[in-house]
Amino acid sequence: MVTVKDKVFAPFIEKTTLEQRIVEMGGEISRDYKGRNPLFVVVLNGAFMFASDLLKGVDVLCEISFIRLASYEQTQSTGKVKQILGLAETVQGREVIVIEDIVDTGLTMSELVSQLKAKGAASVEVVTLLHKPEALKTAIDLKYVGFEIENRFVVGYGLDYDGLGRNLDAIYVLAD
Ligand code: IMP
């Protein structure tokens, strides 16, 4: 058990299980993108640890860019919109692979994918370490998923609870 701030979390996915699956995912991406030159777009902060381990196992020539998503209220009718911050590389004509820590409702990822397509990306695929299928609120095509998990709150390995817990080297789940 670990305590993060005021909550107790139990072990959920161990370090070695994460490592093995991430090596497999790197191999899969390497095969699919052999001879191509993808642009990886890492979504900070949550995906930093996953991206670092995943990309060590990707053996195609690639570029890596780091972005943040900032929410802002556009108009009352369209509601909250996510703005991409820090994308220095042009995505026009590129094969983009977004690296995310977790897809929960899918709203963040589906908006990011459409924004990257609108910027002229030739293709946009998503690789996520975790996915909560029960929480999904929009149809989204996730090409590479590390683990499908139940709809429970998790921390560690990049994921935070109120800014804390990202440095844990495994995934922990909120204890009931
Ligand atoms: P979505 O738009 O609901 O798919 O939101 C995805 C984002 O919510 C992720 O990038 C995380 O930052 C955050 N998130 C969703 N579920 C969890 C969780 O269980 N633990 C920590 N962060 C989470």
| Annotated catalytic residue 104 | yes
Q: What are 146-163's pLDDT values in tens digits?
A: 999 999 999 999 999 999
| pLDDT at 28 exceeding the cut of 80 | yes
In what helix (H) or strand (E) does residue 7 lie, and over which residues does it extend? strand 7-13
Kindly state if the Cβ of 156 falls inside 6 Å of ligand 1: no
Distance from C-alpha of 95 to C-alpha of 77, rounded to nearest angstrom: 32
* Predicted pLDDT at 75: 57
> Mean pLDDT score of the chain, rounded to an integer?
94
Domains of the chain: 15-174 (3.40.50.2020)
Query: Any idea which residue has 């670092």 for tokens?
Result: 52
Q: What are 60-115's pLDDT values in tens digits?
A: 999 999 999 988 765 555 556 789 999 988 999 999 999 999 999 999 999 999 99
Distance from C-alpha of 1 to C-alpha of 10, rounded to nearest angstrom: 5
Average pLDDT for 116-123: 97
* Predicted pLDDT at 87: 92
Name the residue at shortest CA distance from atom 17 of ligand 1.
153
CB 170 within 8 A of CB 139: no
Query: Any idea which residue has 């820590």 for tokens?
Result: 101
CA of 104 to the centre of ligand 1 (A): 5
Average pLDDT for 46-50: 98
How far are the Cα atoms of 7, 13, 132, 145, 158 from residue 176, in angstroms, in the given order? 10, 17, 18, 26, 22
Of the residues 53, 59, 104, 169, only one is catalytic, namely 104
